[in-house]
Structure 1
């Protein structure tokens, strides 16, 4: 307030600026998400890896293998940008049991519980490398629409964060990813997600894994990988 002729006069405050736009999702984000996932999984090596993973029908081992397979597949798609625009790279996909995930990538059971963790680490490194070295103008097929390297990086991060949530449920492992990382992938893949809410619970809501105050749990969900701008 200021004084004018003995009266108090309100002084305008600063004009609010535009809401900051989160930065892009990068190869470093992929690397960091997978590194943290690997560290969390190593804390749970003594757990029952053949128990169900959260609300999924897959076991914890199968879920980690599926996650590794996702990261591998995204890296592979970026590796053939001139390939067919309407299909994945034609690897042989198979499930090891009825109801299990159909993968290209499986860990050797003889390697014990360390096997799927090492496979995840390797596949994460493949995706991070492809995102880092692929020109930003490249577009590659995904079932939700052609995407660019940043889009595939964001997909890999989302897969890592939410599938670690699935695996960590029921384990004595704390898994709460960085809010900034969640904000970046929400902005990139879920542009219609609620704003002004905690970012990690919002990402769980956007992927059908939790309720959010004022927003019922989603029965169906998808992301939007199309390049922005």
Structure 2
């Protein structure tokens, strides 16, 4: 059974394979944009960042979640103290920045490499380990879920800005909704529901969110 095949009793847990699949799909999609599309400062969907900055932010998120799991005893009160800095006022505060001279191909290598770091950490972190996050201490599955949310929705933002098509596999969306957004409506398809849960769309009977967060704590029955 593939990592995206639904389990008989539900979508199943979020896995490292799910995250790896999403990263590879995102990189393949973003490679379709012409080089000129990365050079004109166009915004990534509704974000205030341009598309290059948004890929750097996404790579930085994946890197940050990976390094939080990297210590033998991860801190539960703060992030590992890498230096996060903005390259311009209003830009994302990142520890990860891509070399502009490497062009879009180099930028996407940075994204793929950061994704691989988190995939590896999710695969190798013992079940009892918890790492700091502002939305609650995250185990390996929650860390995979956080990375999955970042990849799915920021690739949506980027696809809007770059004029690309992006519709991720519904099972990936269903798994991350079940794990991180347990209160999300279940009446609509998983992908539009995830866009609603992250403040990017409306759902019938549910206005667009102006603020949102996910839930890192595992379900009460675990």
- Cα distance in 1 for residues equivalent to 2:112 and 2:15: 17
Equivalent in the alignment of 1:227: 218
Q: How does 1:99-138 map to 2 (within 5 A)?
A: 99-138=90-129
Which 5+ residue runs of structure 1 have no aligned equivalent?
1-18
Equivalent in the alignment of 1:143: 134
Equivalent in the alignment of 2:201: 210
Equivalent in the alignment of 1:13: none
Equivalent in the alignment of 1:33: 22
Equivalent in the alignment of 2:3: none
Equivalent in the alignment of 1:192: 183
* TM-score, structure 2 normalization: 0.92
Give yes or no for the alignment of 1:201 onto 2:192: yes
The answer (yes or no) to whether the contact 2:159–2:166 under 8 Å persists in 1 is yes
The answer (yes or no) to whether the contact 1:81–1:140 under 8 Å persists in 2 is no
- Cα distance in 2 for residues equivalent to 1:81 and 1:213: 46
List per-residue Cα deviations over 1:28-48 (Å, max 9, x = no partner): 011100000000010013342
SS at match of 1:113: helix
Deviation at 1:171, TM superposition (A): 2.9
Runs of 4+ in structure 1 off by over 4 angstroms are none
The answer (yes or no) to whether the contact 1:168–1:175 under 8 Å persists in 2 is yes
* TM-score, structure 1 normalization: 0.89
Pair member with larger Rg? 1
The answer (yes or no) to whether the contact 1:70–1:159 under 8 Å persists in 2 is yes
Equivalent in the alignment of 1:22: 11
- Cα distance in 2 for residues equivalent to 1:135 and 1:115: 32
